[in-house]
Amino acid sequence: MNKYTLAQIIKAWDATYGENMREEYPGFIQRLFEEKIERKIMLKVIAVFSVTITMSLSIYLFSYDIFNVSHVAWIHYIIPFSVGVVFAASSIMMYVENS
């Protein structure tokens, strides 16, 4: 299945029917833009929330390790995990910005 941009659809519609979709169907075009913006905002919120929770957990566990020397091994697991979550969230945000 091919995906087309809104600009490509509008251009093809104009070539086929001789109508400017922006003028003939402004409500339809506006709704498409709103859906795209809502999707981008929701994905950004999820990404930021994930990073915030992960960093909060990392800080808590790191402070716990400082006071409990017997559990220092947690640091070796939580730091790579935190970096991975931050990287994943950043990748999601870059994808959303470019889609």
What pLDDT is attached to residue 28? Answer: 84
What pLDDT is attached to residue 26? Answer: 86
pTM value is: 0.44
**Long-range CB pairs of 4-13, under 8 A, 24+ apart, other chains included:** 6/32, 6/33
pLDDT by residue for the chain (99 residues), tens only, comes to 677 888 888 898 889 999 888 888 888 888 877 777 777 777 778 777 877 777 777 777 666 655 665 555 656 666 677 777 777 777 777 777 666
What pLDDT is attached to residue 53? Answer: 79
Query: Which of 92, 28, 82 lies closest to 56 in space, CA to CA?
Result: 82
Are the C-beta atoms of residues 53 and 30 closer than 8 Å to each other? no
Number of other residues whose CB lies within 10 A of the CB of residue 10? 17
Cα 89 from Cα 82, distance rounded (Å):
11
